[in-house]
Chains A and B, each alone.
Chain A
């Protein structure tokens, strides 16, 4: 068959676009090289719905950030994912940094951001008792919010699939050719034909674009390392706390997550290797030092895990949304505030496709909510993960609800099983058994994540 649209990449941009297109009478597929959705930057970022004062006025970032920020609350409600408008603060530690805050404030007003104010030290500590005494001023953005980035991506893709979108996992795109007005996408799992292609390949968007003869841009991975603290520290800060930004980004933040942990990070370092998601000792130390400048009394002994995200950046720093070839769209360089912007980009994409001649007719049988797999009620009373209190019912649900979890890590991202303080020490053997049973495979075939990441290597003789 020939799909109307093939989207390459199942990150938040690809998933939101797929969901937007699933409203219309179109055949849509999403091609993803990993074993799950949200495996790149969408899995490992700060989870912030930015207010929109950072991006330079007139850029795509500024436009889609503000638009996306306004759409986010409604979308999260529709998808049934957590959203919290916790507000954010940008701290100034020196008198001269107050000018930077003013600049951000004015830029925010120009970009159309509501609810901004500059507050003094006294007011800062009224709102946040643990913020450093050295913070003199802050830009307080009431519309700043938080979401869980992979929860949002999984839900968006699941909703798209409930409305007919197909997802091909572990299908790396090898080449793209154009034949009689349709593209042929050659993947590691076969060839997929489509009339329109949307390149949402994150770090590899440059490589994909080159396959159709466009070498006009390059993607540089910008490495960001994070530390996640135990839920026992819930309440350390309520707002998302930033320092004044630098050229390399918004710096290390201290933020609550929607799940009640505290997140510290990211570092920011341009690197060459697009697979280098290692955490480093230097990075971890940098986070600790930087976070401690902003917030007092952080017990770093309560770190439960660390992780790294690679943000796809372009040279000029703005999102790159172009059509280098007819019927081929690039959504590239979607780094921060990409998470916030994704819903707005998705709407923009459907308008661009319409302008390119794709007919958009609304589906009559479109379902506005996700279809959750029904599990026997009693299974929800059988606890598997004791730290996060995840039941067997929730795990079975994750295995059979779109997009279906096929690995231990995929279950973890959907249910939080293994994400708590013991990091899977107790529940992993049970999760492995449930996965094997529900997928009808041998326990030895159960994988942690993609590739040959098997959990156990064989049966005892």
Chain B
């Protein structure tokens, strides 16, 4: 059986950055396995700009951002396999992949970085009643049809969910000549970035209907219309508020789910809130030498943050392979009041500072972030405003980590 020091599953932004970072730390015997026909992952179909402001201090399109990393991979000579799908990874790190040329291949790896990304929630997961006509797509599928294949999915569009892909697609469909009638969001706020609401909806006079959802699908062969209803504070449709809107297309942008089927198959511990692996500050999972980063770990707002996380995982994997990784601690980090999740969920070393990423459950103003151990508050920070759609973080310095009592800290948020 072939062996490798490091195998990276997925050649999207997370996988590419992890490879570059591991290479930078001296790892030469590595391989990226990508199921699509090119590197770059979902970035390839995100032809709008707005990528790279943090990482490269300039505004790039998705393919441009991907190309920056692809070029590094090519220049460094990091090997990758395209059109190759990993079908199984065993607990002892044997990876099985298939492709047209080689058939089924097994590789034993010293370390693995999981970077499979995420998928969109589908209509089925929402249980929207009604018929099953053509014309209902997740926003990402529509994006692929339009941007990659040059095919229009419809002319009169309603978008359910105000996630970023939905907002981007509202603008994209409009620019291609479709009429976007409304973007419905069941929550009282949008989960998308504020800049996308301005640039994709407001600039094109597309109404954002907060506290509304689609309650029925109409049409036999092709979609003919949807019923939109107002919802109450428990997100239940309010009878009597139904409104019929004619449309031939319904795009769904109702959330992303990390794709952790391979992770589950390896018996790795998962976090019910992120739906990704439970990891430490190195992004190492419960299975030693297996790391996870990017949207397969938790769904990020910006690709820049994905790359940043992938650097952490790549460097840590390199240290692990070289036997330099230190584990001298085991503190669990938990999400408390108003916090939906934290990453990492464990801190296994007090030798360096740790950034704890989290999301709040609600939109809050005048926010206090409080981290406590079993006895005391160990860290405090303030924010003017937090939103569930925008990830936050706090940095815990070495001295803070050294002063933690017990083996658990919790992060809570207080606000108005």
Contact = CB atoms under 8 A, between A and B. Distances in A.
A315 interface: no
B146 A382 contact: no
A421 interface: yes
Interface string B243-269: 000001000000000000100100000
Given A429-B144, A457-B154, A458-B152, A382 B83 contact: yes
Interface string A300-337: 01011111000000000000000000000000000000
B100 A456 contact: no
A279 B217 CA distance: 9
A287 to B, nearest CB: 10
Contacts of B87: 383, 389
Interface string A46-63: 000000000000000000
Nearest to A448: B134
B100 A450 contact: no
A444 B220 contact: no
Given A425-B140, A443-B149, A460-B151, A453 B125 contact: no
Given A303-B127, A382-B100, A444-B151, A277 B134 contact: no
A382 B152 CA distance: 26
Interface in A213-252: 227-228, 232
Contacts of A450: 221
Contacts of B148: 429
B124 A304 contact: yes
B222 A278 contact: no
B85 A456 contact: no
Given A277-B132, A278-B130, A305 B124 contact: yes
B120 interface: yes
Interface in A67-99: none
A223 to B, nearest CB: 12
B205 interface: no
A454 B222 contact: yes
Contacts of A279: 127, 129-130
B79 to A, nearest CB: 19
A423 B124 CA distance: 8
B221 A460 contact: no
A429 B176 CA distance: 19
A301 B125 CA distance: 7
Contacts of A425: 119-120, 122, 137-138, 140-141
Given A278-B129, A421-B119, A460-B146, A306 B124 contact: yes
A126 to B, nearest CB: 27
B141 A456 contact: no
A450 B132 CA distance: 11
Interface string B137-166: 110110011101111111100000000000
A445 to B, nearest CB: 12
B264 to A, nearest CB: 7
Interface residues of B, number: 51
Contacts of B209: none
Majority SS of interface residues in chain B? mixed
Contact of A383 (B35, B101, B124, B151): B35
Contacts of B141: 424-426, 428-429
Interface string B103-146: 11000000000000001101111010111111001101100111
Contact of B176 (A306, A389, A449, A460): A460
A381 B125 contact: no
B139 to A, nearest CB: 10
Nearest to B147: A460
Contacts of A461: 177
B155 A457 contact: yes
A452 B221 contact: yes
Contacts of B248: 457
Q: Looking at chain A, what size class is its interface with the partner chain?
A: 35 or more
A136 interface: no
Nearest to B126: A303
A459 B150 contact: yes
B101 A378 contact: yes
Contacts of A383: 35, 85, 87, 98
A459 B221 contact: no
A426 B125 contact: no
Interface string A432-443: 010000000001
A280 interface: yes
A306 B217 CA distance: 13
A306 to B, nearest CB: 6
Contacts, number: 128
A355 interface: no
A298 interface: no
A184 B176 CA distance: 50
Nearest to A228: B124
Contacts of A423: 122-125
Nearest to B221: A451
B120 A422 contact: yes
Contacts of A386: 35, 85
A364 interface: no
Contacts of B98: 381, 383
Contacts of A232: 264
A169 interface: no
A134 interface: no
A379 to B, nearest CB: 7
B133 A448 contact: yes
A431 to B, nearest CB: 11
Nearest to A418: B122
A281 B215 contact: yes
A383 B151 CA distance: 23
Given A278-B130, A378-B100, A386-B35, A456 B145 contact: yes
A381 B129 CA distance: 37
Given A381-B98, A425-B138, A454-B222, A277 B131 contact: yes
Contacts of B261: 387
A453 B149 contact: no
B323 to A, nearest CB: 35
Nearest to B103: A381
Interface string B26-43: 000000000100000000
Interface in B290-345: none
A179 interface: no
A284 interface: yes
A386 B222 CA distance: 26
B99 interface: yes
A304 B103 CA distance: 31
Interface of A: 227-228, 232, 275, 277-281, 283-284, 301, 303-307, 378-379, 381-383, 386-387, 389, 421-426, 428-429, 433, 443-444, 447-461
12 contacts: A278-B131, A281-B129, A306-B127, A381-B100, A425-B137, A425-B138, A452-B222, A453-B221, A453-B222, A454-B134, A456-B145, A459-B152
Interface of B: 35, 83, 85, 87, 98-104, 119-120, 122-125, 127, 129-134, 137-138, 140-141, 144-146, 148-155, 176-177, 215-217, 220-222, 237, 248, 261, 264
A-B pairs with lowest CB-CB distance, top 8: A305-B124, A451-B221, A448-B134, A423-B122, A453-B221, A453-B134, A383-B85, A456-B151
Given A425-B119, A452-B222, 4 more contacts: A227-B127, A307-B132, A381-B99, A453-B134
